[in-house]
């Protein structure tokens, strides 16, 4: 009798409480699953650069702006440099800084 009660108590302790399910409004923001820079993203970046609102771009700022991963943002910045949209201002050891290739007066 005692061993049965002990087994029931230990089974109750091992049972994990259920986590409340997340509602639609509480979910985390999902990053885009893009792994290569596409024409659409590069055109979006070119429009942003032409507006002239941002003085410089880093992988982190671009990743936040376009809602992509930082590694993808690095690829986008390199491709934009190849196309002449942006110019490398400081290569740096860790974070490259890009500026618009043609400044709007």
Question: What SS3 class is residue 90?
Answer: strand
H or E segment and range at residue 9: helix 2-14
pLDDT, one tens digit per residue, over 50-100 is: 988 899 999 999 999 888 889 999 999 999 999 999 999 998 888 999 999
At 92 the pLDDT is 80
Say whether pTM exceeds 0.85. no
Angle between helices 39-51 and 59-66 (to 10 degrees): 110
C-alpha dihedral sign at 90, 88, 36, 39: positive
Structure-token pair, residue 73: 């943002």
Question: What SS3 class is residue 3?
Answer: helix
All domains of the chain in start order, with CATH: 39-100 (1.10.10.10)
């Amino acid at each position: 009798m005692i061993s049965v009660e002990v087994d029931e108590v230990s089974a109750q302790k091992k049972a994990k409480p259920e986590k409340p399910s997340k509602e639609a409004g509480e979910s985390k923001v999902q990053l885009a699953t893009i792994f290569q820079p596409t024409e659409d993203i590069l055109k979006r970046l070119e429009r942003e650069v032409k507006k002239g609102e941002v003085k410089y771009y880093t992988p982190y700022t671009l990743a936040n702006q376009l809602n992509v991963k930082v590694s993808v943002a690095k690829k986008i910045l390199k491709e934009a440099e190849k196309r002449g949209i942006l110019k490398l201002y400081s290569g740096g050891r860790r974070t490259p800084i890009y500026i618009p290739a043609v400044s709007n007066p």
